[in-house]
Amino acid sequence: MPELAEPAAIVEQFDCPACEVPAGSTCRTRGGKVAPKYHTPRFMLVL
């Protein structure tokens, strides 16, 4: 049975289409700070 990955690791394996950060990075605000949550379009890439 395969191991389950951390949810953040699954989401971060894709570039974010909203803030354009590369895979492996957390989403960013317009000011460049770490966003409090992932952008919805990035979650849609996982589903």
The pLDDT of residue 6: 83
pTM beyond 0.75 = no
pLDDT tens for the 47 residues of the chain, in order:
567 678 888 888 999 999 999 999 999 999 999 999 988 888 787 76
Q: What are the residue ranges spanned by the domains of the chain?
A: 1-47
Residues in the chain, overall count: 47
Rounded Cα gap, residues 11 and 29, in angstroms: 17
